[in-house]
């Protein structure tokens, strides 16, 4: 076990549980847990260049800040994961009058979504603790990521997805050999059934919010962004932008990327935190409603958005996301389905990236935050891209123009 890992703190009661004492949520009150490390000791014993100059470019080079040992062995998608590109988007900068817009393209991970980072960490933990089967409830991408990260290992993947899951996502799960149960109900119904199934059959539960290791995988995107930004200004180590914009469903990606930056700051490797802007779907309103209040409790409100990646009735990691947004001086923006479809097309034409509607929400957030004056023209902004458009071709066809059908060259004007 990582000697710097101090334990898991409950986001509800604040108790720090020893690493071995907990598996999922707080035994006292069911609150979500958050891994805590000895940042002072890491700062003394580890140099930032130990991580950034490591020969491996995978997420496993951040070992002192990860809860599970790197899975050893051959260069499979699991052991090679990470180091996605950080693109600059000059056309978008011009159009919106923003100094710098960067796109962190996690649609380039092995299963074409950000969720690989989380699934890799949970699979590493499962391998380290001798598990045989892992289960997840998912809107599609977390399950595809779990199936891909289990491939080539001895672990069996069992997944629960809601009906209506885009067929590209379903195919991407099934092709890796996972067992798939389509639940007649919502994503949050699938979360409940998966939890019960894990108790009944003894499977390890990867579901977001339940499993504290997912955030630990997701924070590696924050490390990578800070590392890549420093690289582009010829600095060593890490550098923070002014703002990071993240699509938000359960809130685990946002709280994860935020945690990556916060840990770099706690160690003393960056000075200030970026502001975090979370973008939810207008038609999945639970988290945004709580954000406008002062509370940390969420109502379960049926989601009807086409953006499957952020279609949640109630956010499973909402408390962590709210605290990340509020403490960083950020905000929550709500994106309509129409705006997300239009944003898919803009990101593809002007940014060169083809993403799914949930991911395109980040671009809607950029436009709205700029219009509201929340972002200034002198700002440097990073959009966290989370999933490929190829897994939801139906939405892409709605967002894209029609092709020209021809018989001969005479048909071309
Ligand atoms: C899961 C997902 C999100 C949202 O992540 P949460 O942790 O649920 O907030 C955003 N975009 C895509 C493509 C996703 O699959
Ligand atoms: Zn607790």
Distance CA 65, CA 45 (A): 12
- Tokens representing 152? 């080539």
Decide: residue 85, CB within 10 A, 0-12 exposed, 13-18 middle, 19+ buried: middle
Distance, CA 248 to ligand 1 centroid (Å)? 6
Q: Give the ligand whose atoms come closest to the C-alpha of residue 16.
A: 2
Q: Which of 67, 64, 76 is nearest to 116 (CA)?
A: 76
Atom 15 of ligand 1: nearest residue by CA position: 309
| β-strand partners of 281 | 335
Give the mutation target among 118, 249, 258 for probing the ligand 1 site: most ligand atoms within 8 A of CB.
249
Q: Which of 396, 342, 388 is nearest to 141 (CA)?
A: 388
Give the CATH architecture of domain 78-112+212-399.
3-Layer(aba) Sandwich (3.40)
Distance CA 247, CA 251 (A): 8
Distance, CA 67 to ligand 2 centroid (Å)? 20
Distance CA 218, CA 226 (A): 14
Read off the pLDDT of residues 335-359 as tens digits, 9 standing for 90 and up: 999 999 999 999 999 999 999 999 9
Pick the residue with more confidence: 1 or 283? 283
Q: Tell whether ligand 1 has an atom less than 6 A from the beta carbon of residue 365.
A: no
Q: Give the ligand whose atoms come closest to the C-alpha of residue 21.
A: 2
Q: What is the pLDDT of residue 297?
A: 97
49, 178, 218, 255, 261 from 328: Cα distances, Å = 26, 39, 18, 11, 11
pLDDT band at residue 236 under the 50/70/90 scheme: confident
H/E stretch holding 10: strand 5-10
Distance CA 203, CA 191 (A): 14
Q: Which of 82, 71, 179 is nearest to 129 (CA)?
A: 71
Q: Which of 119, 165, 158 is nearest to 139 (CA)?
A: 165
Distance, CA 30 to ligand 2 centroid (Å)? 6
Distance CA 293, CA 285 (A): 13
Please report where in the chains the tokens 């603790």 appear, as a residue: 129
Distance, CA 323 to ligand 1 centroid (Å)? 18
Distance, CA 202 to ligand 2 centroid (Å)? 23
Q: Tell whether ligand 1 has an atom less than 6 A from the beta carbon of residue 248.
A: yes
- Tokens representing 15? 């108790």
Beta strand spans in 224-370 (E): 243-247, 275-281, 331-335
- Tokens representing 287? 């988290």
The answer to whether residues 363 and 343 touch, using CB atoms and an 8 Å cutoff, is: yes
Please report where in the chains the tokens 């509201």 appear, as a residue: 372
Residue spans in the chain of domains classed CATH 3.40.50.1100? 78-112+212-399
Q: Tell whether ligand 1 has an atom less than 6 A from the beta carbon of residue 230.
A: no
116, 148, 254 from 109: Cα distances, Å = 7, 10, 18
Distance CA 94, CA 91 (A): 5
Nearest 5°: the CA angle 366, 367, 370 is 85
Query: What is the mean predicted confidence (pLDDT) over 360-378?
Result: 98
> Which backbone phi and psi does 132 adopt, to 5 degrees?
-115, -25
Q: Tell whether ligand 1 has an atom less than 6 A from the beta carbon of residue 386.
A: yes
Residue 233 has pLDDT above 90, yes or no: no
Q: What is the pLDDT of residue 413?
A: 85
Q: How far apart are the first and last CA of the chain?
A: 67
Which ligand 1 atom sits nearest the alpha carbon of residue 250?
8
Question: How many other C-beta atoms can be found within 10 angstroms of the C-beta atom of residue 282?
Answer: 19
Distance, CA 236 to ligand 1 centroid (Å)? 31
The answer to whether residues 303 and 134 touch, using CB atoms and an 8 Å cutoff, is: no
Distance, CA 196 to ligand 2 centroid (Å)? 21
Give the mutation target among 247, 260, 305, 322 for probing the ligand 1 site: most ligand atoms within 8 A of CB.
247
Q: Tell whether ligand 1 has an atom less than 6 A from the beta carbon of residue 309.
A: yes
3-class SS shares of the chain: helix, strand, coil, % to 5:
45, 15, 40
Question: How many other C-beta atoms can be found within 10 angstroms of the C-beta atom of residue 380?
Answer: 18
Helices 252-267, 318-327: axis angle to 10 degrees equals: 50
Read off the pLDDT of residues 260-279 as tens digits, 9 standing for 90 and up: 999 999 999 999 999 999 99
> Which backbone phi and psi does 156 adopt, to 5 degrees?
-95, 140
Percent above pLDDT 90 for the chain: 97
Query: What is the mean predicted confidence (pLDDT) over 7-34?
Result: 98
Distance CA 365, CA 349 (A): 18
Distance CA 136, CA 208 (A): 8
Give the mutation target among 104, 108, 162, 358 for probing the ligand 1 site: most ligand atoms within 8 A of CB.
358
Q: Tell whether ligand 1 has an atom less than 6 A from the beta carbon of residue 253.
A: yes
H/E stretch holding 198: helix 187-201
Which ligand 1 atom sits nearest the alpha carbon of residue 312?
8
Distance, CA 386 to ligand 1 centroid (Å)? 7
Residues in the chain: 413
Q: Tell whether ligand 1 has an atom less than 6 A from the beta carbon of residue 310.
A: yes
Nearest 5°: the CA angle 92, 98, 351 is 20
Give the mutation target among 310, 313, 321, 389 for probing the ligand 1 site: most ligand atoms within 8 A of CB.
310
Read off the pLDDT of residues 41-99 as tens digits, 9 standing for 90 and up: 999 999 999 999 999 999 999 999 999 999 988 899 999 999 999 999 999 999 999 99
Distance, CA 64 to ligand 1 centroid (Å)? 26
Q: Tell whether ligand 1 has an atom less than 6 A from the beta carbon of residue 318.
A: no
The answer to whether residues 16 and 6 touch, using CB atoms and an 8 Å cutoff, is: yes
Read off the pLDDT of residues 178-210 as tens digits, 9 standing for 90 and up: 999 999 999 999 999 999 999 999 999 999 999
């Amino acid at each position: 076990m990582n000697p710097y890992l101090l334990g898991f703190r409950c986001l509800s009661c604040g108790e720090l549980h020893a690493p071995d004492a907990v598996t999922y949520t707080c035994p006292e009150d069911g609150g979500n847990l958050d891994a805590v490390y000895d940042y002072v000791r890491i700062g003394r014993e580890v140099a930032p260049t130990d991580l950034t100059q490591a020969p491996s470019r995978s997420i496993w080079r951040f070992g002192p800040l990860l809860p599970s040992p790197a899975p050893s062995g051959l260069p499979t998608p699991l052991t090679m994961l990470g180091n996605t590109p950080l693109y600059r988007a000059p056309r978008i900068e011009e159009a919106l009058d923003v100094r710098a817009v960067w796109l962190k393209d996690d649609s380039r991970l092995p299963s074409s979504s950000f969720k690989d980072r989380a699934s890799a960490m949970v699979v590493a933990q499962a391998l380290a603790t001798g598990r045989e089967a892992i289960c997840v409830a998912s809107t599609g991408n977390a399950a595809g990521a779990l199936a891909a990260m289990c491939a080539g290992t001895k672990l069996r993947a069992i997944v629960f997805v809601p009906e209506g899951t885009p067929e590209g996502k379903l195919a991407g799960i099934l092709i890796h050999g996972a067992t798939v149960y389509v639940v007649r109900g919502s994503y949050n119904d699938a979360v409940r059934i998966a939890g019960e199934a894990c108790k009944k059959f003894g499977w390890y539960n990867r579901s977001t919010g339940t499993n504290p290791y997912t955030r630990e995988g997701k924070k590696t995107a924050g490390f990578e962004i800070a590392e890549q930004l420093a690289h582009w200004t010829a600095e060593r180590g890490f550098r923070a932008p002014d703002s990071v914009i993240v699509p938000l469903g359960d809130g685990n990606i946002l709280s994860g990327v935020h945690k990556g930056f916060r840990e770099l700051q706690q160690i003393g490797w960056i000075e200030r935190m970026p502001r975090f802007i979370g973008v939810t779907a207008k038609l999945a309103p639970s988290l945004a409603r709580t954000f406008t209040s002062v509370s940390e409790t969420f109502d379960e409100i049926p989601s009807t958005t086409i953006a499957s990646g952020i279609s949640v009735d109630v956010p499973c990691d909402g408390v962590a996301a709210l605290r990340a947004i509020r403490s960083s001086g950020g905000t929550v923006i709500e994106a309509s389905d129409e705006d997300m479809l239009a944003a898919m097309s803009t990101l593809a034409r002007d940014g060169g990236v083809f993403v799914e509607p949930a991911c395109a929400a980040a671009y809607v957030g950029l436009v709205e935050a700029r219009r509201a004056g929340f972002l200034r023209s002198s700002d440097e902004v990073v959009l966290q891209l989370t999933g490929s458009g190829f897994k939801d071709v139906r939405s892409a066809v709605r967002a894209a123009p029609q092709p020209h059908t021809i018989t001969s060259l005479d048909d071309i004007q």
